């Protein structure tokens, strides 16, 4: 065929994009119209869950009575001001929720490993499945990769155990994928799934599924909400959409590679210089974190996963943060490792290099979290951005780094507005188990947890509309 004829035909449309546009356009208005506004809001709600972890706690209340530099002390539920340490989150203050009084319980209180075990499981000693893994089996079930676990110098030598925070089963963790080049290849190049031990997944085949297969979890939820004539109409409608897909399939062009949509047409690979020999060089930590963040955001944007964890190092880490080029830690020349700096003593003394280094380190991690939120907010999606459709959790395994308390934990939740998360607020509780936070987030994500973990009262009040 001549170039002229090709031009007069217009742009070629891939089979997948053609079918998704046709079938989704045909299916959603009629299907959701059966159920009214509540179902429409739920189907268009939060779609993803992403955890951002940093190690060794924060400068909380000191042993000699200094007030926490992390927590918010004054103001009401909506009219609060962020402390200086959280200033990097100012652009996302109204898109985040801050907490007082969330506790991980007394078991192993004062212990880094005990905190890591409870952090995402909400079960003492890690004797449970972590919330990210449960959500991977619910909201993530139909994605080519149910769960993506990326580390930044988190698993030297493939270490897991209590250094890992994601529990696949009671007492059972796997190591995070610390190499962004390998993670990128497995996610975007077909072949093995990112998670070690997972069965092989060919992304090219996985992303060629019917739109009804992709939507299966949502459709099953809809089926459970209707009965009688409405259910019959729903089944007839879905049968018609399936028939339309089968009729249109031979008319469309063969699929291109697995990247989906314009924003996935050219996904840049991580910097090749991050080779195996540099993965655990502390000077490379910032570059590796930036690469892993981009891999995770792109994978979620392209529909390759809905559930992910980014783990920055691990508890009690010897990470030498003064080696980070261009940072305040490097500028001051304070030779200080993360866990070493967290044991700053009984009081807050900014004249003490150890405490000053610890505060600078915590601020650096907050800046990286803010950069992640910014990246999600840059990606348009529906009537808003990816941040609106993603619930993002900032966490660490203890509260105060020096005392290792498991109470008044420094959690922050951002995004998720499309799922009903009521952001721009400070929620105060005299005492509330942190599993109730996960029960509430589950509701925002369409996983209706009555409760989560081994204690608690149910979904955290006031979190989700």
Task: Say yes or no to pLDDT of 192 above 90.
Answer: no
Closest CA to 394 of 430, 461, 441, 433: 441
Q: State whether 215 and 355 are in the same domain.
A: no
Q: Per-residue confidence at 1, pLDDT binned at 50, 70, 90?
A: very low
Q: State whether 413 and 288 are in the same domain.
A: yes
Q: What is the mean pLDDT of the chain?
A: 81
- Comparing 396 with 183, the larger pLDDT belongs to 396
- % residues pLDDT > 90 (the chain): 63
3-state secondary structure of 51: strand
pLDDT of residue 430: 93
Integer Rg of the chain from CA: 23
Q: State whether 230 and 152 are in the same domain.
A: no
Task: Say yes or no to pLDDT of 208 above 50.
Answer: no
State pLDDT tens for residues 280-330.
999 999 999 999 999 999 999 989 999 999 999 999 999 999 999 988 888
- Comparing 181 with 378, the larger pLDDT belongs to 378
Q: State whether 34 and 134 are in the same domain.
A: no
pLDDT of residue 455: 92
* DSSP H or E segment with residue 380: strand 380-381
Closest CA to 319 of 274, 365, 345, 281: 281
pLDDT of residue 243: 56
Residue 351 lies in a domain: yes
pLDDT of residue 209: 46
Task: Say yes or no to pLDDT of 226 above 70.
Answer: no
Task: Say yes or no to pLDDT of 244 above 80.
Answer: no
State pLDDT tens for residues 125-158.
999 999 999 999 999 999 999 999 999 999 998 8
Other Cβ atoms less than 10 A from the Cβ of 203: the count is: 21
Structure tokens at 369: 């979290």
Q: State whether 32 and 81 are in the same domain.
A: no
> Residues 292, 183: contact at Cβ < 8 Å?
yes
Counting Cα atoms < 13 Å in the Cβ hemisphere of 339 gives 12
Pairing of strands 390-395, 48-53: parallel
Alpha-carbon span 465 to 457, nearest angstrom = 18
State pLDDT tens for residues 425-437.
999 999 999 999 9
Q: Name the percent of the chain in helix, strand, coil, to the closest 5.
A: 45, 15, 45
- Residue 353 makes CB contacts below 8 A (sequence gap 6+) with 332, 334, 336
Q: Of 254, 279, 314, which marks where a domain is finished?
A: 254
- Comparing 416 with 32, the larger pLDDT belongs to 416
Alpha-carbon span 440 to 465, nearest angstrom = 10
- % residues pLDDT > 70 (the chain): 71
Task: Say yes or no to pLDDT of 360 above 90.
Answer: yes
pLDDT of residue 181: 84
State pLDDT tens for residues 91-100.
999 999 999 9
* DSSP H or E segment with residue 148: strand 148-152
State pLDDT tens for residues 152-180.
999 998 888 999 999 999 999 999 999 98
Residue 449 lies in a domain: no
> Residues 62, 378: contact at Cβ < 8 Å?
no
Query: What value does the mean pLDDT take over residues 354-361?
Result: 93
Q: State whether 321 and 398 are in the same domain.
A: yes
Q: State whether 238 and 281 are in the same domain.
A: no
> Residues 442, 452: contact at Cβ < 8 Å?
yes
Q: Per-residue confidence at 239, pLDDT binned at 50, 70, 90?
A: low
Query: What value does the mean pLDDT take over residues 17-27?
Result: 37
Residue 6 lies in a domain: no
Alpha-carbon span 79 to 209, nearest angstrom = 47
* DSSP H or E segment with residue 214: helix 211-214
Task: Kindly list the distances between the CA atom of residue 393 and the CA atoms of 197, 411, 414, in Å, as whole numbers in the listed order.
Answer: 26, 7, 7
Residue 1 lies in a domain: no
Residue 259 lies in a domain: no
Alpha-carbon span 448 to 458, nearest angstrom = 11
Eight-class DSSP state of 317: -
pLDDT of residue 157: 85
Q: State whether 237 and 378 are in the same domain.
A: no
Counting Cα atoms < 13 Å in the Cβ hemisphere of 196 gives 14
Rounded (5°) CA angle 359-365-367: 100
Alpha-carbon span 251 to 18, nearest angstrom = 10
Eight-class DSSP state of 384: E
Q: Look at the chain and report how many structural domains it folds into.
A: 2
Task: Say yes or no to pLDDT of 199 above 60.
Answer: no
Residue 262 lies in a domain: no
What domain range includes position 375? 47-202+270-444
Q: State whether 198 and 282 are in the same domain.
A: yes
Q: State whether 222 and 326 are in the same domain.
A: no
Q: Per-residue confidence at 235, pLDDT binned at 50, 70, 90?
A: low
Closest CA to 108 of 117, 99, 96, 97: 117
Q: State whether 230 and 135 are in the same domain.
A: no
pLDDT of residue 259: 33
Alpha-carbon span 432 to 127, nearest angstrom = 20
Instruction: Give the CATH number of the domain where residue 366 resides.
Output: 3.40.720
Least confident of 72-81, 196-205, 229-238: 196-205
Alpha-carbon span 250 to 15, nearest angstrom = 9
Q: Per-residue confidence at 453, pLDDT binned at 50, 70, 90?
A: very high
pLDDT of residue 167: 98
Query: What value does the mean pLDDT take over residues 396-422?
Result: 97
Q: State whether 176 and 309 are in the same domain.
A: yes
> Residues 207, 305: contact at Cβ < 8 Å?
no
Closest CA to 104 of 398, 449, 451: 398
Residue 52 lies in a domain: yes
Task: Say yes or no to pLDDT of 107 above 70.
Answer: yes
Q: Per-residue confidence at 230, pLDDT binned at 50, 70, 90?
A: low
Alpha-carbon span 218 to 190, nearest angstrom = 26
Residue 7 lies in a domain: no
Eight-class DSSP state of 268: P
- Comparing 267 with 419, the larger pLDDT belongs to 419
Task: Say yes or no to pLDDT of 399 above 90.
Answer: yes
Query: What value does the mean pLDDT take over residues 228-251?
Result: 57
> Residues 186, 206: contact at Cβ < 8 Å?
no
pLDDT of residue 45: 78
């Amino acid at each position: 065929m001549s170039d002229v004829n090709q031009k007069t035909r217009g742009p070629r449309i891939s089979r997948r994009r053609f079918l998704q546009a046709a079938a989704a356009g045909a299916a959603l208005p009629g299907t959701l119209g059966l159920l009214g506004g509540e179902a429409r809001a739920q189907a268009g709600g939060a779609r993803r869950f992403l955890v951002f972890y940093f190690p060794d706690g924060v400068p909380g209340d000191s042993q000699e009575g200094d007030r926490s530099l992390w927590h918010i002390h004054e103001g009401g539920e909506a009219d609060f001001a962020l402390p200086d340490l959280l200033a990097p989150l100012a652009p996302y203050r109204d898109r985040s929720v801050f907490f007082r009084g969330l506790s991980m319980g007394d078991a192993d209180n004062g212990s880094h490993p005990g905190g890591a075990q409870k952090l995402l499981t909400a079960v003492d000693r890690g004797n449970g499945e972590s919330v990210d893994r449960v959500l991977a089996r619910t909201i993530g079930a139909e994605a080519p990769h149910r769960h993506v676990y990326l580390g930044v110098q988190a698993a030297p030598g493939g270490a897991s155990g209590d250094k890992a925070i994601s529990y696949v089963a009671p007492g059972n963790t796997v190591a995070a994928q610390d190499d962004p080049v390998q993670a990128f290849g497995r996610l975007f190049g077909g072949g093995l799934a990112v998670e070690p031990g997972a069965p092989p997944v060919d992304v090219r085949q996985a992303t060629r599924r019917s739109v009804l297969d992709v939507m299966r979890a949502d459709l099953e939820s809809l089926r459970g909400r209707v009965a009688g004539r409405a259910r019959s109409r729903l089944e007839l409608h879905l049968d018609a959409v399936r028939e339309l897909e089968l009729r249109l399939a031979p008319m469309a062009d063969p699929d291109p590679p697995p990247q989906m949509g314009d924003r996935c047409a050219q996904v840049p690979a991580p910097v090749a210089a991050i080779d195996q020999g540099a993965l655990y060089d502390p000077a490379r930590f910032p570059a590796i974190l930036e690469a892993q963040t981009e891999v995770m955001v792109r994978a979620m944007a392209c529909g390759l996963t809905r559930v992910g964890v980014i783990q920055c190092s691990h508890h009690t880490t010897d990470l030498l943060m003064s080696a980070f080029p261009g940072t305040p830690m490097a500028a001051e020349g304070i030779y200080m490792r993360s866990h070493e700096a967290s044991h700053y003593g009984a009081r807050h003394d900014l004249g003490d290099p150890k405490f000053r280094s610890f505060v600078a380190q915590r601020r650096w991690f907050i800046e990286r979290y803010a950069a992640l939120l910014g990246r999600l907010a840059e990606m348009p999606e529906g009537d808003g951005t990816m941040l609106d459709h993603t619930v993002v959790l900032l966490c660490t395994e203890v509260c105060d780094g020096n005392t290792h308390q498991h109470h008044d934990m420094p959690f922050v939740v951002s995004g998720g507005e499309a799922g009903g998360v009521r952001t721009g607020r400070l929620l105060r509780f005299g005492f509330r188990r942190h599993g109730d936070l996960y029960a509430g987030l589950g509701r925002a994500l369409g996983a209706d947890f009555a409760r989560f973990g081994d204690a608690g009262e149910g979904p955290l009040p006031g979190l989700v509309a």
